[in-house]
């Protein structure tokens, strides 16, 4: 993994005009995202730097030092702001599919890798009821800075995105050729490997994988985080099934096509499907149906790379929406019993049969998610990776705050100015919640000091949405760039009849086509 990353970084240093070794690069999306933009071959490529909406806040650009002395301890912020005492269901009937699709999508577009030589531990407040019950006062949660490179022109520390920036279903196929080939059932009509019960293949080849590269009991997919929790593993499985279903259909209709040709056509289809679901169902559910303007075509001048602000805090909104349990429901609507989220980390055995994929997908569609706010369930905030061998139990919120500081994320008003938004001059302008205002005032001296992750979640929601103003603008801008700056976006790439085929489908159709579930609402992002 480290060698591949170093090679990717070397390739990213080149800003010269693209030179194609293969004419396919003009017509086919590459696994690593290279050559998508013909004049800027590394835009959106895996192993290349994140870009930014606003200037970083590093006081030492090269070393990436942040002014942290005036900021509160991340775990203290987590305890005082994000402590969720009871379920707070969202007020718009959004289902758990929303945060689960968001996690899958995030893993399609972004991946940080830890720099083990750069520890940045998170101090645990003395007497912390979870992490320092004996009041030792000298404990810390493990945290490492993101692998970065030094910008050649700016000489600024720049965190690196291991995945392609594009929405290209890399969660199914991977972002490098080695992983992509291992996942394929080569010379078998374009199919992907599966194991018994039409589940994902196991990691028999020691590829980088959450839960251990040498753990052959963990499933393998295009992204190493597949086994993190049971809902994520389930939706990964669903889309590998959809690839194989569609590959068989293409092969039957086109017997003259080779294994490689069927694979490419099917990969193109699944990538298009992922894009369509994101823009037609997921984003409208969160932001309202008219938040993102209609597609008008590819623009080669748009840089599609993932912005630091988006990946480091804005798109982590889903952590506040996660439910404490994963519901399981059969086709008739019978409740089969929930899986406790904190007991599902890296436990692929919970996907115990072929039919569990259907039960869990219908369960996710049948339960209202938590509100997008400043409250987070214990399973993520206090017991992340509980009982996972060789893993320290963690606090995801503390990690989010520390990651923003690691990446030098600027203050909220500098960020808002980059979008032409008015600055906040007081905490009461952010939210009408007086209790939350008081908590913010107790932790931070002024608005500009507040970690952006905290403030964008504290914002009152815009009418008809589940987002505040700042986070809405970040998401709209990022997803517009990902669509309009992608030469292979499905509406730009596919012929009209195939675009129409994709647009006729919904996520509910994919569930029905690949599981035993036939009784499910049309729009699974909302609970009936």
- The tens place of each residue's pLDDT in the chain, 528 residues long, gives 343 333 344 446 443 333 444 666 689 999 999 999 999 999 999 999 999 999 999 999 998 898 888 999 999 999 999 999 999 999 999 999 999 999 999 999 999 999 999 999 999 999 999 999 999 989 999 999 999 998 777 789 999 999 999 999 999 999 999 999 999 999 899 999 999 999 999 999 999 999 999 999 999 999 999 999 999 999 999 999 999 999 999 999 999 999 999 999 999 999 999 999 999 999 999 999 899 999 999 999 999 999 999 999 999 999 999 999 999 999 999 999 999 999 999 999 999 999 999 999 999 999 999 999 999 999 999 999 988 888 889 999 999 999 999 999 999 999 999 999 999 999 999 999 999 999 999 999 999 999 999 999 999 999 999 999 999 999 999 999 999 999 999 999 999 999 999 999 999 999 999 999 999 999 999 998
Is 308 inside any structural domain?
yes
Query: What's the CATH code of the domain at 90?
Result: 1.10.640.10
Of the candidates 359, 485, 518, 492, the residue with the CA atom closest to the CA atom of residue 43: 485
Please state the domain count of the chain.
1
In the block, tokens 């606003």 appear at 54
Contact 270/514 with Cβ under 8 angstroms? no
Number of H helices, E strands in the chain: 21, 9
Domain that holds residue 326: 2-514
Percent helix, strand and coil across the chain, each to the nearest 5:
40, 10, 50
H helix runs in 374-506, sequence order: 378-381, 396-406, 412-418, 434-443, 452-458, 469-484, 490-493, 496-503
Please report whether residue 54 resides in a domain: yes
Position 488 scores a pLDDT of 97
Residue 404 lies in a domain: yes
For residue 354, being part of any structural domain is answered with yes
The answer to whether residue 521 sits within a structural domain is: no
Residue 78 in any domain: the answer is yes
Tokens of 167: 């929405």
325 phi and psi angles, rounded to 5 deg = -135, 155
Which residues carry out catalysis? 107
Q: Does any domain span residue 483?
A: yes
Inside any domain, residue 519:
no
């Amino acid at each position: 993994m480290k060698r591949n990353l170093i090679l990717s970084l070397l390739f990213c240093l080149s800003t010269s005009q693209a030179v194609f070794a293969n004419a396919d690069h003009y017509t086919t999306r590459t696994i690593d995202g290279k050559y998508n933009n013909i004049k800027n071959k590394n835009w959106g490529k895996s192993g290349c730097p994140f870009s930014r909406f606003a200037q970083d806040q590093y006081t030492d650009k090269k070393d990436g030092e942040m002014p942290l002395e005036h900021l509160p301890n991340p775990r203290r912020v987590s305890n005082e702001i994000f402590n969720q005492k009871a379920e707070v269901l969202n007020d718009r009937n959004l289902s758990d599919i929303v945060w689960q699709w968001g996690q899958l999508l995030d893993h399609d577009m972004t991946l940080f890798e830890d720099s083990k030589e750069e520890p940045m531990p998170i101090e645990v407040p003395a007497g912390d009821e979870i992490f320092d019950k004996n009041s030792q006062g000298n404990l810390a949660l493990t945290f490492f800075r993101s692998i970065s490179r030094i910008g050649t022109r700016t000489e600024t520390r720049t965190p690196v995105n291991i995945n392609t920036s594009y929405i290209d279903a890399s969660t199914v196929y991977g972002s490098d050729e080695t992983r992509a080939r291992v996942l394929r059932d080569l010379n078998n009509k374009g199919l992907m490997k599966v194991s018994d019960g039409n589940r994902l293949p196991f990691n028999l080849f020691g590829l980088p994988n959450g839960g251990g590269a040498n753990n052959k009991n963990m499933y393998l997919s295009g992204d190493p985080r597949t086994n993190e929790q049971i809902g994520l593993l389930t939706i990964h499985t669903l889309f590998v099934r959809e690839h194989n279903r569609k590959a068989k259909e293409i092969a039957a209709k086109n017997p003259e096509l080779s294994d490689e040709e069927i694979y490419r056509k099917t990969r193109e289809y699944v990538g298009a499907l992922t894009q369509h679901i994101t823009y037609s169902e997921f984003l409208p559910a969160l932001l309202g149906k008219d938040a993102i303007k209609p597609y008008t075509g590819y623009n080669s001048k748009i840089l599609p790379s993932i912005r630091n602000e988006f990946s480091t805090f804005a798109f982590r909104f889903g952590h506040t929406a996660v439910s404490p349990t994963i519901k399981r429901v059969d086709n008739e609507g019978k409740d089969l019993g929930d899986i406790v989220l904190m007991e599902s980390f890296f436990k692929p055995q919970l996907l115990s049969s072929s039919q569990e994929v259907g039960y869990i997908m219908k369960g996710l569609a049948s339960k209202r998610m938590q509100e997008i706010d400043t409250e987070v369930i214990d399973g993520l905030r206090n017991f992340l990776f509980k009982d996972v061998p060789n893993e320290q139990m963690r606090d995801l919120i503390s990690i989010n705050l520390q990651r923003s500081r690691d990446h030098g994320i600027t203050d909220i008003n500098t960020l808002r100015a980059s979008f032409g938004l008015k600055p906040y001059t007081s905490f009461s302008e952010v939210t009408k919640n007086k209790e939350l205002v008081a908590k913010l005032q107790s932790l931070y001296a002024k608005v500009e000091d507040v970690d952006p992750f905290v403030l964008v979640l504290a914002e009152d929601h815009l009418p008809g949405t589940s987002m505040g103003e700042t986070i809405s603008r970040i998401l709209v801008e990022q997803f517009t760039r990902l669509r309009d700056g992608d030469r292979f976006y499905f509406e730009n790439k596919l012929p009209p009849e195939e675009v129409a085929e994709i647009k006729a489908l919904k996520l509910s159709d994919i569930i029905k086509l690949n599981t035993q579930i036939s009784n499910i609402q049309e729009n699974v992002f909302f609970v009936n």
